[in-house]
Amino acid sequence: MATTLEIGLDIGFTLDDPIKGVLDSTDYPIEGIAFTDITSRLDSMTIGRGKNRELDRFNSGTLTASLRNEDRAFDPLYTSSPFYGDIIPRRRVRVKTDGVFQFEGVIDDWNFDYDPGGESRAELVATDAFTYFSRQQLVAGTATTQTSGERVTAVLDMEGIEWPSDKRDIDAGVSVLGTDVFEGNALDYLQKVSTSEQGLFFIGKDGKAVFRSRLDATPTSTSVLDFADDGTGIPYALTAVNYGTELMVNQAIVKSSAGTVTQTDADSASLYGTIATELDTLVNSLGQLENLAAYTIARFAEPEYRFGAIQVNLDTLSASDKADVIGVEIGDVLRITFTPNDLPSALVQLGQVIKIGHSITSSRHDIVFSLAAVDFTFLVLDDAEFGKLDSGNLLAF
């Protein structure tokens, strides 16, 4: 299992320089960034991307790497360092496993630990593009009636944000958003669009801004990856099982400029007490507000028994299983087969990935997938798993 850590150095094309000014140079590209592999100096590394609970918004992905620094290679004041002038914040950084991206972002901080005995470490702390969006303000203007995906694109195109077109993976969206005045924080607004869609907006492992509509985030049987503790799927360790009211909602208050709609599951509220949530959206009709409220209640009105997280040791997997695991992305669906205490009647549950964490050392690479239950999803016609009527699957809206 080959995991590499690379940082982007400012060693690009320099006009009139006899070495850096040579056209078509692979060592000094015109775009000004060349990635350098620093894996040989790596002690340990952690990556976290996603959100802790299904009802939460996605957070900025983070990377922390501990690097050996006895030769002061990462000391920004050491002029003999091979990286002198490049140990500064805002440099790009990326991680790949067997050539597959696991993280791309920018360095926020360098921290240094100089041990009297000579063991010195540099710590690299980085975040993904959510941090960039959180620092941008929308340019004042008026939004036209658009689908949710079109609204995301409008924000990414906005002057001052201008997110690269090759760093996007944006679905068209289903919800229709009304006219609106652009104002405030860019990330807050993009997440409000995602709430209006009941879809997913996150930064992918390759650094792309990803927007999934609620329909495109619906799983199909062919897209489900199997994990099992009985030899019938990829081996794993179950690290969390949850059952309770922490993800319950039996009263949904959904609002937009079109009005406010409140729906309550009376049976659930009578049994567990009223557990309310308020969704501030951009949709342009009362009908959409009613559908979003009904959808929220249908998903969350009852307590759920769910496999909260599984851990996979990549170093113990076959080559094909490794390839499948490192390819998993937020929003993908896993089927978990769990046999408590090796007793008969295994439990089988589907879970949608809402968070991915990596823990990497020189001797081991673990991945933890945090999951949201998929007991309730949209009906997929002709699908063996998700196309069954009266199975809890909802007709799309």
For residue 385, tell me if it sits in a domain.
no
Does residue 198 belong to any structural domain of this protein? yes
Give residue 342's pLDDT.
Answer: 72
Residue 265 domain flag: yes
Q: What is the pLDDT of residue 192?
A: 97
Co-location of 13 and 59 in the same domain? yes
Indicate whether 380 belongs to any domain: no
Per-residue pLDDT tens over the stretch 185-222: 999 999 999 999 999 999 999 999 999 998 876 766 66
pLDDT in tens, 39-57: 999 999 999 999 988 889 9
Q: Name 371's Cβ contacts closer than 8 Å, sequence gap at least 6.
A: 306, 307, 308, 309, 310, 334, 336, 351, 352, 353, 354
- At residue 226, the pLDDT reads 96
Q: What is the pLDDT of residue 314?
A: 96
**Residue 392 is assigned to a structural domain of this protein:** no
pLDDT for res 242: 86
> Which of 257, 252, 255, 282 shows the shortest CA–CA distance to 175?
282
- Both 30 and 115 in one domain: the answer is yes
Q: Contact 261/290 with Cβ under 8 angstroms?
A: yes
Q: Looking at the structure, do residues 262 and 337 belong to the same domain, yes or no?
A: no
Do residues 302 and 280 make contact, with C-beta atoms less than 8 angstroms apart?
no
Residue at 383 is within a domain: no
Rounded to whole angstroms, how far apart are CA atoms 371 and 234? 16
* Residue where the block lists tokens 């299904």: 54
Are residue 286 and residue 327 in the same domain, yes or no? no
13 and 117 share one domain: yes
9 lies in the same domain as 66: yes
Q: What is the pLDDT along the chain (397 residues), one digit of tens a residue?
A: 589 999 998 665 555 556 555 555 555 555 567 889 999 999 999 999 999 888 899 999 999 999 999 999 999 999 999 999 889 999 999 999 999 999 999 999 999 998 887 789 999 999 999 999 999 999 988 999 999 999 999 999 999 999 999 999 999 999 999 999 999 999 999 999 999 999 999 999 999 999 999 887 676 666 799 999 989 999 999 888 888 888 899 999 999 999 999 999 999 999 999 999 999 999 999 999 999 999 999 999 999 888 999 999 999 999 999 999 999 999 999 999 998 877 778 889 999 999 999 999 989 999 999 999 887 666 554 555 655 555 455 556 6
On whether both 237 and 344 belong to a single domain, the answer is yes
Residue that is last in its domain, among 127, 147, 173: 127
Is residue 395 situated within a structural domain? Answer: no
Beta carbons of 378 and 199 less than 8 angstroms apart:
no
234 and 337 part of one domain: yes
The reported pLDDT for the residue numbered 323 is: 97
Task: Write down the pLDDT at residue 373.
Answer: 85
Residues 225, 369, single domain; the answer is: yes
- Which domain CATH number covers 202? 3.55.50
Say if 351 falls within a structural domain: yes
3-state secondary structure of 167: helix
Q: For residue 387, what pLDDT is reported?
A: 52
Looking at the structure, tell me whether residues 228 and 332 fall in a common domain: yes
CATH number at residue 310: 2.40.30
Give the per-residue pLDDT at 220: 62
Helix count and strand count (H, E) for the chain: 6, 23
pLDDT at position 397 is 67
Same domain, 289 and 310: no
For residue 17, the enclosing domain spans 3-127
Of 127, 158, 184, the residue at which a domain comes to its end is 127
The total domain count for the chain is 4
Displacement of CA 55 from its chain's centroid (Å): 14
> What's the confidence (pLDDT) of residue 33?
73
- Could you tell me if 342 and 257 lie in one domain? no
The per-residue pLDDT for 384 is 59
Instruction: State which of 127, 147, 177 marks the end of a domain.
Output: 127
